[in-house]
Amino acid sequence: MSKPILWIVIPCYNEEQVLPITAPMFLKKINDLAAAGLISEKSRVLFVNDGSRDATWSLIQKFASEDEHFIGISQSRNRGHQNAVLAGLMEALHSGSCDITISIDCDGQDDINAMDEMVKKYLDGAEVVYGVRSRRDTDTFFKRFTAEGFYHVMNALGADIVFNHADYRLISTRVLESFADYREVNIFLRGMVPLVGYPSDTVYYERHERLAGESHYPLSKMLALAFDGITSLSNKPIRLITGAGIVVSLISFIGVIWAIVQAVLGSAVAGWASTICIVCFMGGVQLVCLGVIGEYVGKIYMETKARPRYIISERTWAPYERKYHG
Reported as a single tens digit per residue, the pLDDT across 89-108 is 988 888 888 899 999 988 88
Confidence of residue 151 (pLDDT cuts 50, 70, 90): low
The sheet that has 100-103: what strands, in order across it? Answer: 200-205, 128-133, 165-172, 100-103, 6-12, 44-49, 70-75, 312-315
pLDDT at residue 326 greater than cutoff 60:
no
| CA torsion, ordered 195, 169, 11, 315, to nearest 10 deg | -90
Q: What is the mean pLDDT of residues 304-308?
A: 67
> 155 vs 17, which has greater pLDDT?
17
Confidence of residue 320 (pLDDT cuts 50, 70, 90): very low
> 289 vs 145, which has greater pLDDT?
289
The domain ranges of the chain are: 6-215+308-315, 236-305
Confidence of residue 7 (pLDDT cuts 50, 70, 90): very high
Share of the chain above pLDDT 70, in %: 62
pLDDT at residue 8 greater than cutoff 90:
yes
Reported as a single tens digit per residue, the pLDDT across 25-58 is 999 999 999 998 898 888 999 999 988 888 899 9
Share of the chain above pLDDT 90, in %: 16
Answer for the pair 241, 293: CB distance below 8 angstroms, yes or no.
Answer: yes
**Measured between alpha carbons, how far is 226 from 159 in angstroms, rounded to an integer?**
9
Per-residue confidence (pLDDT) for residue 10, from 0 to 100: 93
> 130 vs 315, which has greater pLDDT?
130
Q: ∠2-8-12 over CA atoms, to 5°?
A: 165
**Measured between alpha carbons, how far is 257 from 7 in angstroms, rounded to an integer?**
68
Per-residue confidence (pLDDT) for residue 275, from 0 to 100: 66
Confidence of residue 206 (pLDDT cuts 50, 70, 90): confident
b/e 116-145 (16+ beta carbons within 10 angstroms → b): bbbbebbeeebbbbbbbbeebeeeeeeeee
Per-residue confidence (pLDDT) for residue 286, from 0 to 100: 72
Q: Is the dihedral of CA 34, 39, 43, 45 positive or negative?
A: negative
pLDDT at residue 148 greater than cutoff 80:
no
pLDDT at residue 88 greater than cutoff 50:
yes
pLDDT at residue 121 greater than cutoff 80:
yes
**Measured between alpha carbons, how far is 303 from 305 in angstroms, rounded to an integer?**
5
Taking all residues of the chain, what is their mean pLDDT, rounded to a whole number?
77
Confidence of residue 321 (pLDDT cuts 50, 70, 90): very low
Per-residue confidence (pLDDT) for residue 134, from 0 to 100: 74
Alpha-carbon distance values, 128 to 93, 120, 131, 179, 190 (Å): 15, 12, 10, 12, 12
Pick the CATH number of 6-215+308-315 from 3.40.50.1100, 3.90.550.10, 3.30.70.141, 2.40.37.20: 3.90.550.10
